[in-house]
Structure 1
Amino acid sequence: MRVLGAILAGGRSRRFGSDKAHATIDGERLIDLVARSLAAQCEAVVVCGREEDGINSIPDWPEPGHGPLGGLNAALHHAAIEGVDAVLSCGCDVPNLPTDLLRQLEQGAPAIAGEQPVVGLWPVSLALACDSYLATGQRSLYGFADHVGARRVPIEPPLANINHPSDLPDR
C-alpha cells in the first residue's frame, strides 16, 4: 500500500500563544519531529494548511478555515492525484508517534488513533465523501470519522497533544 504522510498544520495556535509547529523539544521543532516520524512510514510527506520550508506544502481544501478536516481533505485529493492509496495524517503537535503507527492503523482503514482524530489512516477513496461532508457545513474531524465508520485504535503509550506551552515535556 502506498501511503502519503500529511501533517495537519493550518491552525492559528491560539491556545498555545505562538506558532506551536515551531516550538521545540530538545532543540527540534515539533513539525520536524512529526515529519521525520511520518517519513519513516510513508512514501512522501506534505504539510497541509501552511507553507513550510523544506517540506512539500499544500493549501487546505476547498479553502482555509475548515480546520483539520480541510487539511485532511487537501491531503486526500493530493494523494489521489499522486496515485497513492491512503493518507496517514497527524497534527503538527503530536511529537511521539510510534514507529509502527501505520501498521497499527492499517488493519481496516479508515482508522483513528484512540481519541485523536487528527492521527488517522484514511483511504484516498474518501476524498469525495470528505467534499460532501464539508459541503454540508460540517467541520468536525470526529464527526467525519464517525460518518465514514473509522475504527478507534488504542495507541500505547498515549499520544502527546501539545496545546499549551506547559504541555511540552521538561527536558
Structure 2
Amino acid sequence: MQISQVGITDNDQNNVTGVLLAGGKSRRMGQDKAAIKLAGSTMFERTLKLLQNNFKHVLIAGDRPDLARPQIPAFPDIYPGSALGGLYTGLKTATTDWIFVAPCDMPFPDERIVHLLLQYRANFDAVVPRTNQGYEPVFALYHKNCLPQMEKMLQQGQYRIYAFYQRIKIRYLDSSELPDGWQQALLNVNTPDDLARIKEKNMAPPVVSIVAKSGTGKTTLLEKLISELKQRGYRVAAVKHDAHSFSIDHEGKDSWRLTAAGADTMIITSPEKLAMVKRNPADQEPDLKDTLEKYTTDVDIVLTEGFKRNTMPKIEVHRQQRSEQLLCRGLEHDPKLLAVASDSSLDLDVPVYNINDSSGLCDLIVARFLS
C-alpha cells in the first residue's frame, strides 16, 4: 500500500513518549534478549535508536537500571509480570498524554509503522497493528485515558490485554493498511530457534558453505569460485574451518614471539595486508555466525570451506572414486543443500553441476544471493 510520507512532527516528538518495554524475564530464550546482538548491535540498541530518532522523551519500563542512560530513566513495573503491567508503567510514569511502546525483542522495528500509527490516533485511546497472526500490543500507541481500565484489571489480577481492548476506544491498523515489509518489522524473538532462523535469514553478507569428504577437492573449487566472483566485481570473504589447532606464523618471527608471549590479540599491519591472531577463550571455538558478524561486514558474500554441521546453504563437492555416498544426501538429508558439484551423473533433488563448472555454480550463487 501507499502510505503518507509525512514523518513525525515536532508536536508528536514533544507530546509522545517513547517507552522501551524491558520487564520480561527472557525465560524461553535462556538469556537476556535485550543483550542479544544482530549484525553488530543489540536488540535493545536497535529499539532505543528507533525511539530516540522519533521522540524527545524516552523511558524504559522495567527494572533494568543496567539499561538506563542519562536522560533515559528505567522504572520498575508497578504491576510486574505481564505486558499489560509494562504498558501501565509506561503510561503512569510518562509526562506526556501519549506513549508509543516497543519491546526489546523486536530485531527490525520499522519507523514507517510508528508514523502510520500516529496518523490515526485522533479520537481514540489506542492504535494497535492487527494482522493474521493476531494483535501487536507492544508495538503500539496508547493514551493516558487507558490508565483507569488498566489499573482496575491489574488490581483484580486480570492480565489479558485483549480483554482490556474491549474496554477502550481502539483503532486497529490491519495488515492491508501496513507498509510493505511489515512481516519482518513485527517479528519477535522469543526462543533460541527464533533467533537462529532470524540470524540465518538476515545474514549480511550471505554465506555459502563448500562441504565434502576429505580429499574430494573443496579448496580447488573454492579457489575457482572466488576467482570467478572477483572477476564479476564482487567482494568475497573466505573462511576455512580447521578441526585442529593451527598456526599462520613461523616460529622465531616477531609476530610469533608476541603471540607465544601470551598476547590475546596480535595484529600485523602493512600497506598491503592486515592479519590478526586472536586467542579463543578456554580453547572454545566461537559460533560461526558471531565470527562472520564481527569480521565480514565489508564484503558481498562469504564462502566457507567445511562447517558441514552448520545451517548455512551448502554446495557439496563429490567424486565417485572418493565415495559413492554424499554427506548431505546420504545417511542424513540436509535441507540446506543448494547444489552438488560432481565428476559423475547423479539423480538428486537439487541441481548437479560438473565439478569443473565454476562459472555455472557462480551463476547459481549470484542468482540466489546477490541479485
Partner of 1:76: 91
State the distance in 2 between where 1:145 and 1:9 align.
22
Bigger Cα displacement from structure 2, 95-104 vs 115-124 = 95-104
Which of 86, 92, 96 in structure 1 is aligned with 2:98? 86
* Cα deviation code 1:68-92 (max 9, x no counterpart): 111110111112xx2x120101111
State the distance in 2 between where 1:73 and 1:99 align.
23
Bigger Cα displacement from structure 2, 133-142 vs 20-29 = 133-142
Contact 1:118 1:141 in 2 (8 A): no
Distance 1:101 1:40, change over 3 A: farther
Rg: which structure is higher?
2
> Is 1:26 aligned to 2:39, yes or no?
yes
State the distance in 2 between where 1:117 and 1:53 align.
23
> Is 1:17 aligned to 2:44, yes or no?
no
Partner of 1:59: 76
Partner of 2:241: none
Partner of 1:162: 189
Amino acid at match of 1:90: A
Matches within 5 A, 1:77-116: 77-79=92-94, 82=95, 84-106=96-118, 107-108=120-121, 109=124, 110-114=126-130, 115-116=135-136
Amino acid at match of 1:88: F
CA RMSD of aligned residues (A): 1.7
Amino acid at match of 2:164: F
Matches within 5 A, 1:108-147: 108=121, 109=124, 110-114=126-130, 115-147=135-167
State the distance in 2 between where 1:129 and 1:140 align.
12
State the distance in 1 between where 2:189 and 2:102 align.
12
Amino acid at match of 2:91: L
Aligned residues: percent identity? 29
SS of 1:77's partner is helix
State the distance in 2 between where 1:5 and 1:145 align.
21
State the distance in 1 between where 2:42 and 2:161 align.
25
Report the TM-score when normalising by structure 1. 0.88
Residue 131 of structure 1: how far off its partner (Å): 0.8
Amino acid at match of 1:4: T
Q: Which has the higher contact order (CA 8 A, sep 6+)?
A: 1
Report the TM-score when normalising by structure 2. 0.42
Contact 1:112 1:145 in 2 (8 A): no
Count residues in correspondence: 166
Distance 1:59 1:139, change over 3 A: same
State the distance in 1 between where 2:170 and 2:156 align.
19
Contact 1:117 1:145 in 2 (8 A): no
Residue 146 of structure 1: how far off its partner (Å): 3.3
Q: Give the gaps of 5 or more residues in structure 2.
A: 1-11, 204-371
> Is 1:151 aligned to 2:175, yes or no?
no
State the distance in 2 between where 1:9 and 1:123 align.
20
Distance 1:42 1:146, change over 3 A: farther
Residue 112 of structure 1: how far off its partner (Å): 1.2
